[in-house]
Copies of this chain bind each other. A is one copy, B any other.
């Protein structure tokens, strides 16, 4: 299949490579020329704009950092809609707010292009291994069509509902993830201060009603688990500033839909505080250090 691919950062580049490996023909574009060159070396064609990457494509995939980028890449003068042929399906795998996702999808539809929002979870590791989860918003026909391609980049392809619901699923999951990570940080920090062994406490929580992914798979307390960021100085993983971004998307969406989100808003502020203290580049589980006494 001839695929136009725009956005070749830490996530987009390995995703594009997996499409190449699966035998697809790619034309790629990124604002950073070095990123384009790297994919070219791997066998992709290079374009000098999103429009050019899209104009000969049978499918377009984008992976971008934020809503304004998505608007520019799709709706700009040199954007996807300026180049793509009517009828070609568009997939945006960026994590952005659902309102923008729906707005761009409506404009794409008016242009004759079915569009799906398909944000991912699984991080750079999942992108490289081709084991991402895709949360797909779009109608059933679009989902049927794109699922086989997404399977070349991920192993879990979920249809969430109509346009925008992929983004909804992503930000709701990450809202809860941010809350549980801070919750685990508070519980582990309190327990050890009160004299229980960290591994014992984690073991009890992980077989009890406090059980959660942040505790049993990604525990933030050093020494509890191996092969997690807490075991390597909070490097790698999912950055605190990325969590801050996702919490911001969730709390903004709550505001727009007039829903209260007390814990979510406080979690966002605590990540903002943590970032302001200079630690935004660490893995998001490092938030537990906000709770450590400083001597």
19 sample A-B contacts, Cβ–Cβ < 8 Å, listed by A number: A161-B195, A161-B196, A161-B197, A164-B195, A165-B194, A168-B201, A169-B204, A173-B187, A173-B209, A176-B184, A189-B259, A190-B254, A190-B257, A190-B261, A194-B253, A208-B213, A210-B213, A273-B290, A277-B294
A189-B187 Cα distance, complex, nearest whole Å: 25
> Which residues of A13-29 have CB atoms within 8 Å of chain B's CB atoms?
none
Given A195-B161, A204-B135, A213-B211, also A261-B269 (CB < 8 A): yes
Distance between A110 CB and nearest chain B CB, rounded to angstroms? 20
Contact present for A191 and B177 (CB under 8 Å): no
Q: How far is the CA of A267 from the CA of B173 in the complex (A)?
A: 19
Shortest beta-carbon distance, A212 to chain B, in Å?
Answer: 3
Other than the given A193-B258, A263-B263, A263-B267, 19 more pairs (CB < 8 A) read: A133-B208, A135-B204, A160-B201, A161-B196, A169-B201, A169-B205, A173-B187, A175-B187, A176-B186, A176-B215, A190-B254, A210-B213, A258-B293, A262-B270, A263-B266, A265-B269, A266-B266, A276-B294, A277-B294
